[in-house]
Structure 1
Amino acid sequence: MRTCLALDLKDNPEGIAQYEHLHQPEHIWPEIPAGIRAGGITDMQIYRIGTRLFMIVETAEGVDLNDAFNEIGKLPRQAEWAVLMDGFQQRLAEAQPGEHWAKMKPIFRLNA
């Protein structure tokens, strides 16, 4: 199942550059992608325009994304990574209570 999420980065060019740097394959902590996969997420992509981040998450059949994120958060270094990333990020005004990345509503699918 595909889910799309949005979040903003703090409007700080140096912080944005550091955020992108930390997400490059040669700089991301190896526990992070390993933990994401272990949680049942089969693909994850993050895109940026300005300060807006857009994440596409694909989960295995029958995997609830909230449950996957909760399980991932219990794995080694994931909580440390989340705290580090939180220093760069800010929630959207549209985010629901308790929601860090705001879930986006699908409005068009070519192959629905």
Structure 2
Amino acid sequence: MKRYALALDLQNDDQLIAEYERLHRNVAPEIQQSIRYAGITQMEIYRFADRMFMIIEADDDFSFAEKAAADAANPAVKAWEQLTWKFQKAIPGSNPDEKWVVMDKIFELSPSE
């Protein structure tokens, strides 16, 4: 099992943020299926102000490149990405074409012995 942490910013607009959260309360089954089909077994998204943080747990053979290729061929996912991009903005330091950016792990608390 692999675990990833990703970050993305939202447009700093209370109405847009509220609408974005509303959209995520009822994500279409086709979008959820595309996530599962890619090998993602668990996904959580958190928000503070206009910054979002996503935790993904995925199968060992999960690949962001393969997920991106599958998404590019899926009309439902392409429509979802186009819709949600109006609420989102690239995080500082990301490439112009990046949305969610994988974060580097810098600390882990080990279980006490």
Q: Could you tell me the TM-score, scaled by structure 2's length?
A: 0.88
Secondary structure of 2:12's match?
Answer: coil
Structure having the larger proportion of residues in helix? 2
1:39 and 1:69 in contact (8 A); partners too: no
Deviation at 1:72, TM superposition (A): 3.1
Aligned equivalent of 2:42: 43
Which residues of structure 1 form unaligned runs of 5+?
none
Deviates most, 3-12 or 88-97 = 88-97
Deviation at 1:64, TM superposition (A): 1.5
Instruction: Give the paired residue count.
Output: 110
**Bigger Rg over Cα:** 2
Report Cα offsets for 1:62-93 as digits up to 9, x if no partner. 22223223323422400000000000000011
Given residue 111 of structure 1, which amino acid in structure 2 is its aligned partner?
Answer: S
Identity %: 37
1:6 and 1:53 in contact (8 A); partners too: yes
Matched, 1:93 2:92: yes
Aligned equivalent of 2:52: 53
Matched, 1:13 2:14: yes
Deviation at 1:97, TM superposition (A): 5.2
Given residue 23 of structure 1, which amino acid in structure 2 is its aligned partner?
Answer: H
Which residues of structure 2 form unaligned runs of 5+?
none
- Root mean square deviation of aligned Cα: 1.7
| Structure 1 runs, 4 residues or longer, greater than 3 Å off | none
Deviation at 1:103, TM superposition (A): 1.4
Secondary structure of 2:42's match?
Answer: strand
